[in-house]
Amino acid sequence: MEVKEIKAFGTKAAEAPLDQININRRKPTPHDVEIEILFCGVCHSDLHTARSEWGPSIYPCVPGHEIVGKVVNVGGHVSKFKVGDMVGVGCMVDSCRECQYCKEGQEQFCEPGMTGTYNSPDKNLPNNPTFGGYSESIVVDENYVLRIPDNLDPAAAAPLLCAGITTYSPLHHWKVGPGKKVGIVGIGGLGHMGIKIAKAMGAHVVAFTTSESKFAEAKRLGADEVVLSKDRAQMAAFKGKLHFILDCVSANHDINAYLALLRVDGALALVGAPEHPLPVSAFSVILGRKSFAGSMIGGIAETQDMLDFCAEKNIPADIEMIDIQQINEAYERLLKGDVKYRFVIDMASLKK
Ligand SMILES: [Zn+2]
Ligand SMILES: [Zn+2]
């Protein structure tokens, strides 16, 4: 397979900071789209993977799975995209395409496993990992490329490719809409999109935060009500009131306190990933036939639906733009929750 050497930002070891490196990209095959990357969002998974916090990563590691860019080249059999189109790439760049889940458009649950945008074995370049969006360009099969609608700001659309679909998919799956009361727990990269999307779907949105300083922000993002989760009286006022809770917190927290807020047949879905197991009391789910569930990104068609929905409802992510040279500092700020609400890298900075 023919390759091209390009510039990227990545790390060669778990304890090393990210720095400029060169990587190989395949030249487009007949079904491939070559994308010049303009913007890349910074997801918490990038940091976990760069530092081997979710098991050993493959090095060198180039993170980034909230990619927006322009098509600069297409293979001879590409029918969905042309040169000049604004496109996106999210958390996966391939899957088996044959299993039940792939056929149902739920490629994120592909039985042999989806190919992650970074840190997965590259099917096209054996012995290489896939490299993510902290790079000049990426080559992706057209079936795993998304259209970015014209009226979405390309930089603010980048975080939709992971944070957007991670929250849209469960809200859609659990049929959030008019007449439903929905709790969003945690107001960060995921939670801020959860509030916006749940509101745009027509639900009554209740945001939960540990910090009173986030009340005004939560309202600005679209929450109808805000609850200080450490205040027992405020929590008790919502006992048995919510149809669905989207839990975006990745730190340890008391799940039973939230399950108590669900109505009969209500569900709580985790999209944050706390490091340690969360103890759930049997009676928290037995009484009221409640579900304690989880959700992971979304399929390709669903991701396109989410982008079209966000364009129609005019809900971009709230972003802070950085240069790629600030990425190590951005990771430190991410760990402190010091970002409103997603860092996006202006990839033009890689040319500096
Ligand atoms: Zn992500
Ligand atoms: Zn599959």
pLDDT in tens, 187-224: 999 999 999 999 999 999 999 999 999 999 999 999 99
Q: Which ligand is nearest to the CA of 54?
A: 1
Indicate the helix (H) or strand (E) that contains 228.
strand 225-228
| Locus of tokens 């009969």 | 264
Tell me the per-residue pLDDT of 259-300, one tens digit each, with 9 for 90 and over: 999 999 999 999 998 888 999 999 999 999 999 999 999 999
Tell me the per-residue pLDDT of 218-245, one tens digit each, with 9 for 90 and over: 999 999 999 999 999 999 999 999 999 9
Q: Please tell me the predicted confidence (pLDDT) of residue 80.
A: 98
Enter the tokens of residue 334: 């991410």
Average pLDDT on 27-36 reads 98
Q: Please tell me the predicted confidence (pLDDT) of residue 197.
A: 98
**Burial track 23-55 (b if 16+ CB lie within 10 A, e otherwise):** bbbbebeebbbbbebbbbbbbbbbbbbbbbeee
Tell me the per-residue pLDDT of 119-174, one tens digit each, with 9 for 90 and over: 999 999 999 999 999 999 999 999 999 999 999 999 999 999 999 999 999 999 99
Domains defined for the chain, CATH in brackets: 3-162+317-351 (3.90.180.10), 164-294 (3.40.50.720)
Short-list 80, 72, 77, 100, CA closest to 4: 72
Ion ligand 2: residues, CB < 5 A: 95-96, 99, 102, 110
Report d(CA 339, CA 66) in Å as an integer.
16
**First-to-final CA distance of the chain:** 30
SS3 category, 91: coil
Ion ligand 1: residues, CB < 5 A: 43, 45, 162
Q: CB-based contacts of 233: which residues, under 8 Å, 6+ apart?
A: none
Residue 91: pLDDT band by 50, 70, 90 thresholds?
Answer: very high
Q: How far is the CA of 89 from the centre of ligand 1 (A)?
A: 11
Q: How far is the CA of 208 from the centre of ligand 2 (A)?
A: 36
